[in-house]
Amino acid sequence: MTILRTKQAVKSALQILRTSQKTIGFVPTMGALHKGHLSLVENAKLSSEVVIVSIFVNPTQFNNKEDFENYPITIEEDLKLLEEKGVDFIFLPNLEEMYPAETLLKMDFGDLDKTLEGAFRPGHFSGVGVVVSKLLNIVKPDKSYFGQKDLQQVAIIKRLVVDLCFDVEIIVIPTIREQDGLAMSSRNVRLNPDERLTATILYKCLVFAKDELLDGGDWFEIREKVTKRFHDEPQARLEYFELVHTDTLEKLKEIKGQKKVSICTAAYIGEVRLIDNLSIV
């Protein structure tokens, strides 16, 4: 496994492989790796001849300074996990390498980034769009792998790739969960034991809502029951719980006549903000 710290180092390392027609798979991460990230790596290994993983905590996608400062940094542990998985290259740039000057570019994804996460985290997806564009331009992979847990981010990146004509295939990997259903997230390590137990409320409510919808239940009545459930849990604070079209994120009132529907949610458990989603049809 080779660690690359500069854009030029990435270009030099991959150029020979690219001219040899090797398929390059890319997994962008912010580190603090867990089984969800490793699932992306495993899938990349299966369908790409060369795998490169980036680790970079991107400051421009944090609209909350405290959230950025509290983001877990576990570089040594991350590198060990990636080496065990047989990753070929790690792109490990510092802030100056990724942002040699202040970025003036802002990205607007229209309705895609005005709803759900975008409504609560203004500027977040502009930051995501900028850093993903930088990374795709630096690595120039054939395939790039993302997790379904970040459903809105996936929709944004798919749109980014189409609009800017990036020559890359975006591959979405299903959410990896703990045994009790909690979606794996780098933020989970910030939960204390009591909060960790409480955090299962997100997945339980998603499953409850899905079952009720498939049984013909009314969406607004279902959401009201979920809202009350969160209200009755003192350690949890619900931000949103929405029925949406999986690709466009348009908010829906029912699943009838729809081919791609998901429920998306975000909530604070103590001081830790978690997101999750579940496909319905």
Binding positions for (R)-pantoate: 61, 153
Beta-carbon count within 10 A of 15 CB: 11
Under 8 Å between Cβ of 216 and 250 = no
Question: Cα–Cα distance between 195 and 70 in angstroms, integer?
Answer: 17
Joined tokens for residue 111: 């309705």
Binding residues for ATP: 30-37, 147-150, 176, 184-187
User: HEC states along 212-267?
Assistant: HHHCCCCHHHHHHHHHHHHHCCCCEEEEEEEEEECCCCCECCCCCCCCCEEEEEEE
If we measure between CA atoms, which residue out of 157, 160, 181 comes closest to residue 277? 181
Tokens 């933020």 found at: 187
Q: 3-class SS at 3?
A: strand
Binding residues: 30-37, 61, 147-150, 153, 176, 184-187
CA dist 74 → 79, 117, 188, 193 (Å): 9, 26, 14, 20
Binding residues for beta-alanine: 61
Burial of 22 (0-12, 13-18, 19+ CB in 10 A): middle
Under 8 Å between Cβ of 269 and 195 = yes
Whether residue 124 lies in the annotated active site: no
Active site residues: 37
